[in-house]
Amino acid sequence: MRSRVILGLVAAIAAVVATAYAADEIKLDDIKCVVAAKNPAKAANAVDYKGGKVFFCCMNCPKAFSADTAKFSTSANFQLAATHQAKQVACPFSGEAVDAAQTVKVNGVEVSFCCGMCKGKAEAEKDQVALIFADKAFDKGFKVPEKK
């Protein structure tokens, strides 16, 4: 009887630890490699970037990323937002506070803007990812919160 109680307690503790770990886990469903955009990203192939982690399909892609980060920064910024590591803090164009009514979905990521003009600018652009997640716009509108 006593061993069952102890076993039950151990299982309960393990469940709590697993739940806490899962809360910090980054979901990579439908997330593509920053370098080889057609391939799925894998958790095992990650590097630190702007306070978060970006993910790659293989161990060669991080080398390419490190060799020319500027070339892949837009894809990396988009991936930070798509994995919910980067949180929107302002309009990516003006840096002003956002209006929740002025929102556009960009490849599955909801992005809000300060006004209809900024929203219209985003909607009119063919390559919304390149416009909204380029370093200048990303740095104005998104931040990766510091980990505690």
| Rounded mean pLDDT for each run of 10 residues along the chain, 148 residues in total | 50 40 72 97 97 97 97 98 98 97 96 97 96 97 90
One-letter amino acid of 113: F
Question: Which pLDDT value is given to residue 9?
Answer: 44
Q: What burial class does residue 115 get, using C-beta atoms within 10 Å of its C-beta: 0-12 exposed, 13-18 middle, 19+ buried?
A: middle
Number of domains observed in the structure of the chain: 1
> Is 62 within the bounds of a domain?
no
Residue 27, pLDDT score? 93
**Is residue 51 one of the residues assigned to a domain?**
no
- Which pTM does this prediction carry? 0.82
Q: What's the pLDDT at 19?
A: 33
Establish if 134 belongs to a structural domain: yes
What single DSSP character describes residue 146? Answer: P
| Cβ pair 41, 75 in contact under 8 A | no
115 lies in a domain?
A: yes
Strand intervals (E) in 7-145: 42-49, 52-56, 87-88, 99-106, 109-113, 142-143
pLDDT for 120 equals: 97
Q: Which domain holds residue 126?
A: 87-143
Q: Which two tokens stand for residue 107?
A: 């490849």
What is the spatial distance between Cα 32 and Cα 147, in angstroms, rounded to a whole number? Answer: 24
Give the pLDDT of residue 147: 78
Backbone angles phi, psi at 106, to 5 degrees: -115, 105
* CA within 13 Å, CB half, 134: 8
In a domain, 20, yes or no: no
138 domain-assigned:
yes
Q: Does residue 121 form part of some domain?
A: yes
In a domain, residue 124? The reply is yes
Give the pLDDT score at 4.
Answer: 53
